[in-house]
């Protein structure tokens, strides 16, 4: 067909409204009037002819846009793929991979996966480096879609291809990613198995390839709650890697240190390390690794009481997690958002936020979601919605897996029962092991949560002697960097209660005064009332000088706080105390 015949055909198609003219500057373009028109005409062609046309179009586009192919990669990938066996397999795969990379860069993870699946279909039965690379890319896309189990299997399959090819740097990277995914799945035993297997396979490889896996071992142990062992493994890994200059190895070590220190309650060190991790991984062009454990510095700053800084961190990190499709990080950041509302005294907003975080997690495999459920239980409980709160706490306590939280649900359930069902609380404490810290040992994150809950629960039950025995642990925690827990008492208040129960009045009052000053100078309204109530209790226990009058004032201030933010449970109990006191 000559040029004139082409023009005649286009004019006829335009008159029939099959195509429409689109002009841009000096260029003229025609587009089909509707996608169905294009599809109908394409389907009318025999497959071999259609494939040949796709091939010709692909080559023409490649020539036309040779100076700027990156802007047309998706179109080139489509035509080369549709050209079938007539197109060069390597070139077609290259375009499909580049199109997948572009899609992922704009959060198009479903689209990226589709490109990668098409590329894999060109290499069925192949066990070359090309297939292994496609499997690694597929694993990353699946992870961004929240399909973690499939991502783990794809990563394992990739590693199984890299190993016989002796591409140990790629094998190590595949297994490093698999271990990270397994940690998010709370399958810590599997992480340790994979690490041992991978280290054996990498026995003759450079230390720089083994190092990230050594750090994964420390992270798995810390998340499982074996903090002392994790610290020892971290120190061993640091010693092995001390002479290495590899920036990724160094960043991996700092990331592991952040997590292990958080699990050990060393929140200042954890925050510093994780900020360094975010900066280093971002500089290395590894956005997933930058975000993967970024929650560590956010939680650490919550525990330090720096809520404005927490909000700023979330504003920076949340969009980054959403962009790369890190579903677990997205859930974590959403969950911390509602925690800020809770600490600020916005109980209705905190409840909504917790439920939204749970809805998000329901659509994705977030294994750690029980933490958000426990926070919701706390929020419901202090609002007086005790039956709903207890139902959640009982359900989680029956199934909570081993982790750094150390069966935290049991401590929470005991504390809640102490307020509404004292006999049931005593029986629960008698028959249930609630892991508590051990003096002189390295304790896990969750041990301290349990201590806070048990101190309050025992005190509410009238077990002052039992609380007094916990004073050394409570004092130890009050002296730590942790000033805020996201459930229950402030550490200073727990120490004040324990000191009061032990009759050490000066220490008790010092703790309560510090706690009141802390609450009044931070946005943490949730602790203002409870701190004053327990301070007043301590004054009445001591009953010296003007203690009774001061207690009345503190009770009044606590009641105002409870009324303002809706702490129904505490308000009801305080009303009974005030009635007995005649205030």
The per-residue pLDDT for range 566-579, each reduced to its tens digit, is 999 999 999 999 98
Nearest to 344 by CA among 559, 533, 560, 526: 526
Q: What is the pLDDT of residue 10?
A: 64
Query: Among residues 285, 547, 417, 93, which one has the least CA distance to residue 434?
Result: 417
Q: How confident is the model at residue 316 (pLDDT cuts 50, 70, 90)?
A: very high
- Is 42 a residue whose pLDDT tops 80? no
**Which of 163, 155, 150, 124 is CA-nearest to residue 137?**
155
457 pLDDT higher than 80:
yes
Report the run of H or E that residue 180 belongs to, with start and end. helix 168-184
Report the percent of the chain where pLDDT is more than 70.
91
DSSP state of 441: S
Confidence class of residue 32 from pLDDT cuts 50, 70 and 90?
Answer: low
Secondary structure of residue 27 in the 3-state scheme? strand
The answer to which of 79-83, 154-158, 533-537 has the lowest mean pLDDT is: 79-83
Q: Could you tell me the two tokens for 413?
A: 């359930």
Residue 132 banded pLDDT, cuts 50, 70, 90: very high
Helix and strand counts by DSSP (H, E) for the chain? 31, 2
- pLDDT value of residue 351: 96
Q: How far apart are CA 121 and CA 68, in angstroms?
A: 28
CB 277 within 8 A of CB 262: no
Mean residue pLDDT across the chain: 91
Residue 486 predicted with pLDDT over 80: no
Question: Average pLDDT in the 417-433 region?
Answer: 97
Q: Which of 582, 558, 554 is nearest to 571 (CA)?
A: 558
- Cα distance between residue 385 and residue 264, in whole Å: 33
- Please give the pLDDT value at position 46: 47
Q: What is the value of pTM for the model shown?
A: 0.89
pLDDT at site 19:
62
Q: What average pLDDT does the segment 390-408 reach? A: 96
Residues 6+ apart with CB under 8 A from 146: 325, 327, 363, 364, 365
CA distance 526 to 531: 9
Mean local confidence (pLDDT), 335-346 = 93
Alpha-carbon distance of 409 to 264, in angstroms, equals: 19
Q: Residue 298 in 3-state DSSP? A: helix
Tell me what pLDDT residue 364 has. 82
Core vs surface per residue 68-92: b (16+ CB within 10 A) or e: eeeebbbebbbbbbbbeeebeeeeb
**CA 344 – CA 541 distance, rounded (Å):** 30
Return the pLDDT at 82: 86
- With a CB cutoff of 8 Å and minimum separation 6, the contacts of 397 are 407, 409, 410, 412, 413
Taking residues 142-167, report their average pLDDT.
96
């Amino acid at each position: 067909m000559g040029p004139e015949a082409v023009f005649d055909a286009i004019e006829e198609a335009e008159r029939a409204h099959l195509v429409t003219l689109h002009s841009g500057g000096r260029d003229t373009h025609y587009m089909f009037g509707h996608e169905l028109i294009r599809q109908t005409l394409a389907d009318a062609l025999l497959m071999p002819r259609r494939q040949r046309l796709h091939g010709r179009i692909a080559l023409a586009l490649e020539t036309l846009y040779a100076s700027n192919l990156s802007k047309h990669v998706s179109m080139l990938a489509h035509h080369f793929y549709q050209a079938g066996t007539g197109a060069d397999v390597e070139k077609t795969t290259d375009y499909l991979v580049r199109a997948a990379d572009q899609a992922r860069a704009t959060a198009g993870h479903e689209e990226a996966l589709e490109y990668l699946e098409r590329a894999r279909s060109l290499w069925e039965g192949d066990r070359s480096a090309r297939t292994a690379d496609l499997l690694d890319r597929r694993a990353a896309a699946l992870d961004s879609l929240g399909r973690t189990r499939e991502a783990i299997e794809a990563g394992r399959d990739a590693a199984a291809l890299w190993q016989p090819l002796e591409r140990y740097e790629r094998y190590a990277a595949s297994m490093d990613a698999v271990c990270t995914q397994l940690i998010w799945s709370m399958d810590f035993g599997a992480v340790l198995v994979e690490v041992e297997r991978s280290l054996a396979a990498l026995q003759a490889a450079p230390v720089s390839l083994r190092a990230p896996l050594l750090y994964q071992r420390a992270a798995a142990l810390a998340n499982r709650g074996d903090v002392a062992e994790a610290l020892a493994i971290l120190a061993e890994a640091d010693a092995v890697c001390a002479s290495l200059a590899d920036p990724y190895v160094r960043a991996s070590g700092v990331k592991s240190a952040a997590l292990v220190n958080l699990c050990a309650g060393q929140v200042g060190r954890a925050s510093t390390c994780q900020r360094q991790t975010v900066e280093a991984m971002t500089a290395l062009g590894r956005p997933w690794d930058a975000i993967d454990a970024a929650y560590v510095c956010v939680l650490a700053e919550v525990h330090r009481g720096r809520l404005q800084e927490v909000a700023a961190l979330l504003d920076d990190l949340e969009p980054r997690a959403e962009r790369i499709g890190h579903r677990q990080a997205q859930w974590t950041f959403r969950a911390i958002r509602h925690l800020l509302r809770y600490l600020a005294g916005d109980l209705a907003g905190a409840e909504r936020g917790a439920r939204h975080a749970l809805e998000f997690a329901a659509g994705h495999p977030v294994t750690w979601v029980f933490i958000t459920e426990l926070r919701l239980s706390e929020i419901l409980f202090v609002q007086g919605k005790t039956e709903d709160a207890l139902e959640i706490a009982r359900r989680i306590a029956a199934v909570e897996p081993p982790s750094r939280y150390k069966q935290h649900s049991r401590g929470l359930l005991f504390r809640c029962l102490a307020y509404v069902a004292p006999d049931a609380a005593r029986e629960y404490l008698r028959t249930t092991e609630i892991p508590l810290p051990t003096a002189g040992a390295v304790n896990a994150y969750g041990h301290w949560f349990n201590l806070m809950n048990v101190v309050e629960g025992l005190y509410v039950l009238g077990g002052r002697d039992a609380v007094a025995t916990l004073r050394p642990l409570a004092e130890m925690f009050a002296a730590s960097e942790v000033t805020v827990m996201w459930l229950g008492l402030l550490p200073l208040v727990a120490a004040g209660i324990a000191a009061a129960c032990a009759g050490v009045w000066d220490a008790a009052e010092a703790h309560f005064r510090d706690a009141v000053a802390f609450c009044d100078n931070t946005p943490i309204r949730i602790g203002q009332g409870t701190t004053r109530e327990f301070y007043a209790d301590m004054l009445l226990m001591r009953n010296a000088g003007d203690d009774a009058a001061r207690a009345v004032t503190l009770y009044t201030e606590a009641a105002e706080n409870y009324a303002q933010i809706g702490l129904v449970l505490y308000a009801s109990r305080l009303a009974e105390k005030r009635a007995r006191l005649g205030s």
